[in-house]
């Protein structure tokens, strides 16, 4: 990500190739940049992943991370988060969800412990502060689905919720992040439908606070019918356009035809906080990455960006980060 100041306006260039573009905002109006990032199998024997992830995350102020794995003795993904924070400067910290969760098949596998996943939030402490005691995993038993027998199967990986405020200004908000069930799983559609209950429950938990973002890796594009339940919420919207793609085909380096990652919010409560046109998929393959130079794509991949994406998908993730910029001093509600 490159920033240019032109006549009192900050111009942020965040890649190209139809994945991301330009947005403009006045440099005199402070903002924070918030992102979601699926770091594919974070903690699983990828020696370059943490340093590359740190390079990319350093461009944002708050990032929700999915696929923090509990391989090994259950600490590899957690250690990777700590390594990312250590690679960044001293103004960064993180929280990790209280337990790892995953699919029934993972629980039945021979892995010990099973290959479940944590979530994490990573943020700049000079820009963002966690509201103490606000982080928790969605309580499936405490919020029962009457159509489901085993309440602990509402989600493969129940959402992770946390609330933050900006160090400067008056902005505070709640984040809900999730890594939904894989596309091949028949219950993935039901998980997406249940997100309406999650969103409305979180949104109504404090009558004074209505800025709630639902974001993460949903493993389904936003034009699918399973989203109809969430879309029935008054003024709900998401930040990307239909043409934005957020995943990479690891064999070809091409963008996949999937928009699995995005942000949802209610426009009637939160529009004043969002920098117009700042919702973007980041062309993170253009970052300066560390990798083994002998690990190169096939000569059949001739497009320069495709070759970069091929490398990126092996040393970072098969997902691209998605971000939105928020004004810190235009908020009209707050926690009580």
* Per-residue pLDDT reduced to its tens digit, 311-327: 999 999 999 999 999 99
Q: What would the mean pLDDT of 259-276 be, rounded to a whole number?
A: 96
CA distance 277 to 214: 18
Answer for the pair 19, 1: CB distance below 8 angstroms, yes or no.
no
Assign 102 to helix, strand or coil. coil
Give the CA distances from residue 315 to residues 42, 81, 291, in Å, rounded to whole numbers and listed in that order: 11, 16, 7
What is residue 113's predicted lDDT score, i.e. its pLDDT?
65
Lowest mean pLDDT among 76-90, 103-117, 235-249: 103-117
What is the pTM assigned to this prediction?
A: 0.91
How much of the chain is helix, strand and coil, in % rounded to 5? Answer: 20, 30, 50
Cis ω for the linkage preceding 113 (within 30 of 0): yes
Phi, psi of 74 (to 5 degrees): 90, 5
Domain-by-domain residue ranges, the chain?
31-327
Q: What is the DSSP letter of 180?
A: P
Answer for the pair 60, 87: CB distance below 8 angstroms, yes or no.
no
Confidence of residue 203 (pLDDT cuts 50, 70, 90): very high
Listed in sequence order, the residues at least 6 apart from 237 whose beta carbon sits closer than 8 Å to its beta carbon are 264, 265, 266, 267
What is residue 9's predicted lDDT score, i.e. its pLDDT?
42
* Per-residue pLDDT reduced to its tens digit, 122-162: 999 999 999 999 999 999 999 999 988 888 889 999 999 99
Confidence of residue 13 (pLDDT cuts 50, 70, 90): very low
Listed in sequence order, the residues at least 6 apart from 198 whose beta carbon sits closer than 8 Å to its beta carbon are 138, 143, 159, 176, 214
CA distance 76 to 42: 8
Sort 330 into a burial class: Cβ within 10 Å, 0-12 / 13-18 / 19+: middle
- Encoded tokens for 169: 């200004």
Q: What would the mean pLDDT of 107-133 be, rounded to a whole number?
A: 87
Answer for the pair 281, 240: CB distance below 8 angstroms, yes or no.
yes
- Of residues 243 and 35, more confidence is placed in 35
Answer for the pair 215, 230: CB distance below 8 angstroms, yes or no.
no
* Per-residue pLDDT reduced to its tens digit, 68-92: 998 655 568 999 999 999 999 889 9
Q: Is 219 left (phi over 0), alpha (psi -120 to 50) or beta?
A: left
Listed in sequence order, the residues at least 6 apart from 184 whose beta carbon sits closer than 8 Å to its beta carbon are none
Assign 287 to helix, strand or coil. coil
Answer for the pair 288, 215: CB distance below 8 angstroms, yes or no.
no
End-to-end CA distance of the chain: 36
Q: Which CATH superfamily is 31-327 part of?
A: Endonuclease/exonuclease/phosphatase (3.60.10.10)
Nearest Cα residue to 259 out of 13, 35, 19? 19
């Amino acid at each position: 990500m490159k920033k240019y100041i032109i006549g009192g306006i900050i111009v942020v260039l965040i890649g190209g190739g139809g994945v991301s573009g330009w947005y403009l905002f006045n440099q005199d109006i402070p903002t924070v940049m918030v992102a979601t990032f699926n770091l594919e199998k974070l903690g699983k024997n990828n020696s370059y992943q943490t340093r590359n992830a740190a390079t990319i995350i350093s461009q944002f102020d708050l990032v929700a991370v999915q696929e923090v794995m509990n391989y090994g003795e259950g600490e590899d993904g957690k250690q990777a988060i700590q390594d990312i924070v250590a690679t960044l400067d001293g103004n960064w910290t993180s929280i990790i969800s209280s337990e790892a969760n995953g699919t029934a098949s993972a629980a039945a596998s021979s892995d010990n412990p099973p290959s479940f996943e944590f979530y994490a939030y990573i943020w700049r402490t000079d820009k963002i502060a966690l509201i103490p005691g606000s982080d928790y995993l969605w309580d499936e038993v405490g919020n029962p689905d009457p159509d489901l027998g085993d309440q602990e199967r509402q989600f493969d990986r129940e959402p992770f919720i946390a609330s933050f405020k900006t160090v400067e200004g008056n902005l505070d908000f709640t984040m809900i992040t999730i890594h939904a069930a894989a596309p091949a799983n028949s219950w993935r559609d039901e998980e997406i439908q249940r997100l309406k209950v999650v969103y409305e429950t979180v949104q109504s938990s404090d009558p004074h606070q209505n800025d709630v973002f639902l974001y993460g890796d949903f493993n389904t594009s936003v034009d699918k019918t399973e989203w109809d339940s969430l879309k029935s919420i008054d003024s709900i919207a998401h930040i990307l356009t239909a043409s934005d793609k957020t995943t990479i085909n690891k064999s070809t380096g091409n963008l996949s035809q999937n928009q699995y990652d995005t942000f949802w919010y209610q426009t009637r409560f939160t529009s004043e906080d969002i920098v117009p046109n700042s919702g973007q998929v980041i062309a993170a393959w253009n970052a300066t990455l560390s990798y083994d130079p002998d690990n190169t794509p096939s000569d059949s991949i001739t497009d320069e960006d495709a070759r970069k994406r091929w490398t990126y998908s092996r040393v970072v993730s098969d997902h691209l980060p998605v971000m939105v910029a928020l004004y810190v001093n235009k908020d009209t509600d707050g926690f009580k």
